[in-house]
Protein backbone atom coordinates (compact mmCIF):
# COMPACT_ATOMS: atom_id res chain seq x y z
CA UNK A 1 0.00 0.00 0.00
CA UNK A 2 1.35 3.42 -0.96
CA UNK A 3 1.33 5.64 2.15
CA UNK A 4 1.92 9.39 2.26
CA UNK A 5 3.33 10.46 5.63
CA UNK A 6 3.30 14.05 6.86
CA UNK A 7 4.89 15.22 10.09
CA UNK A 8 4.11 18.43 11.96
CA UNK A 9 6.63 19.35 14.68
CA UNK A 10 7.87 15.75 14.52
CA UNK A 11 11.16 14.54 13.08
CA UNK A 12 10.18 11.88 10.56
CA UNK A 13 13.07 9.50 10.94
CA UNK A 14 13.36 6.43 8.75
CA UNK A 15 12.45 4.33 11.80
CA UNK A 16 9.13 6.17 12.23
CA UNK A 17 8.36 5.93 8.51
CA UNK A 18 9.07 2.20 8.53
CA UNK A 19 6.89 1.72 11.62
CA UNK A 20 3.96 3.53 10.01
CA UNK A 21 4.41 1.61 6.74
CA UNK A 22 4.50 -1.70 8.64
CA UNK A 23 1.26 -0.87 10.47
CA UNK A 24 -0.53 0.22 7.29
CA UNK A 25 0.67 -2.91 5.47
CA UNK A 26 -0.93 -5.03 8.22
CA UNK A 27 -4.27 -3.49 7.29
CA UNK A 28 -4.04 -4.96 3.78
CA UNK A 29 -5.02 -8.40 5.11
CA UNK A 30 -8.33 -6.88 6.27
CA UNK A 31 -8.87 -5.12 2.94
CA UNK A 32 -8.46 -8.24 0.83
CA UNK A 33 -9.26 -7.34 -2.78
CA UNK A 34 -10.59 -3.84 -1.99
CA UNK A 35 -8.38 -1.30 -3.78
CA UNK A 36 -6.95 1.60 -1.77
CA UNK A 37 -7.24 4.84 -3.70
CA UNK A 38 -5.24 6.95 -1.25
CA UNK A 39 -3.70 6.62 2.21
CA UNK A 40 -2.53 9.72 4.09
CA UNK A 41 -0.95 9.59 7.54
CA UNK A 42 -0.32 12.72 9.56
CA UNK A 43 1.77 12.70 12.73
CA UNK A 44 1.85 15.76 14.96
CA UNK A 45 3.44 16.79 18.23
CA UNK A 46 1.03 19.02 20.11
CA UNK A 47 2.48 21.56 22.51
CA UNK A 48 1.02 20.42 25.81
CA UNK A 49 0.09 22.60 28.72
CA UNK A 50 2.53 22.89 31.60
CA UNK A 51 3.50 19.64 33.31
CA UNK A 52 1.53 17.49 30.86
CA UNK A 53 4.52 16.65 28.70
CA UNK A 54 4.36 15.95 24.99
CA UNK A 55 1.14 14.90 23.34
CA UNK A 56 1.20 13.18 19.97
CA UNK A 57 -1.60 12.96 17.43
CA UNK A 58 -1.82 10.37 14.67
CA UNK A 59 -4.41 10.71 11.92
CA UNK A 60 -5.08 8.39 8.99
CA UNK A 61 -7.31 9.10 6.01
CA UNK A 62 -7.90 5.91 4.01
CA UNK A 63 -9.76 6.44 0.77
CA UNK A 64 -11.62 3.38 -0.49
CA UNK A 65 -14.20 3.08 -3.28
CA UNK A 66 -17.24 5.16 -2.26
CA UNK A 67 -15.92 5.70 1.28
CA UNK A 68 -13.35 7.71 3.24
CA UNK A 69 -12.27 6.16 6.52
CA UNK A 70 -10.75 8.69 8.92
CA UNK A 71 -9.26 7.93 12.33
CA UNK A 72 -7.53 10.29 14.76
CA UNK A 73 -5.98 9.37 18.11
CA UNK A 74 -3.93 11.32 20.63
CA UNK A 75 -1.67 9.94 23.38
CA UNK A 76 1.55 10.83 25.15
CA UNK A 77 3.57 8.34 23.04
CA UNK A 78 3.84 8.49 19.24
CA UNK A 79 4.02 4.72 18.77
CA UNK A 80 0.94 4.16 20.95
CA UNK A 81 -0.98 6.72 18.89
CA UNK A 82 -0.02 4.88 15.69
CA UNK A 83 -1.02 1.53 17.24
CA UNK A 84 -4.40 2.88 18.36
CA UNK A 85 -5.08 4.29 14.90
CA UNK A 86 -4.25 0.93 13.32
CA UNK A 87 -6.56 -0.96 15.70
CA UNK A 88 -9.48 1.41 15.18
CA UNK A 89 -8.98 1.48 11.42
CA UNK A 90 -9.02 -2.34 11.30
CA UNK A 91 -12.44 -2.31 12.98
CA UNK A 92 -13.71 0.33 10.54
CA UNK A 93 -12.49 -1.74 7.56
CA UNK A 94 -14.35 -4.80 8.89
CA UNK A 95 -17.56 -2.75 9.19
CA UNK A 96 -17.04 -1.33 5.70
CA UNK A 97 -16.68 -4.82 4.24
CA UNK A 98 -19.80 -6.04 6.05
CA UNK A 99 -21.71 -3.05 4.73
CA UNK A 100 -20.57 -3.77 1.16
CA UNK A 101 -21.53 -7.45 1.49
CA UNK A 102 -24.97 -6.51 2.82
CA UNK A 103 -25.50 -4.16 -0.14
CA UNK A 104 -24.65 -6.97 -2.55
CA UNK A 105 -27.14 -9.27 -0.84
CA UNK A 106 -29.84 -6.61 -1.01
CA UNK A 107 -30.30 -6.05 2.70
Domains of the chain from N-terminus onward: 4-105 (3.30.160.100)
In the predicted structure, residue 100 carries a pLDDT above the cut 90: no
Q: What is the tens place of the pLDDT at every residue in 17-73?
A: 999 999 999 999 999 888 999 999 999 998 766 566 789 999 999 999 889 999 999
Report the percent of the chain where pLDDT is more than 90: 72
**Cα angle, residue 70 at apex, residues 76 and 81 outer, rounded to 5°:** 15
Q: What is the 3-state secondary structure (H, E, C) of the chain?
A: CCCEEEEECCCCCHHHHHHHHHHHHHCHHHHCCCCCCEEEEEEEEECCCCCCCCEEEEEEEEEECCEEEEEEEEECCHHHHHHHHHHHHHHHHHHHHHHHHHHHHCC
Among residues 53, 13, 54, 61, the alpha carbon closest in space to that of 37 is found at 61
In the predicted structure, residue 80 carries a pLDDT above the cut 90: yes
pLDDT of the residue at 48: 64
pLDDT of the residue at 49: 63
For the residues 68-93, what does the mean pLDDT come to? 96
Rounded Cα distance, 48 and 46, in Å: 6
The model carries a pTM of: 0.88
Rounded Cα distance, 78 and 96, in Å: 27
Amino acid sequence: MQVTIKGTKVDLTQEIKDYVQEKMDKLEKFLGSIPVENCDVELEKIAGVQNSGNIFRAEVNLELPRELLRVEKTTNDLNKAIDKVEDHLAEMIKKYKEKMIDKKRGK
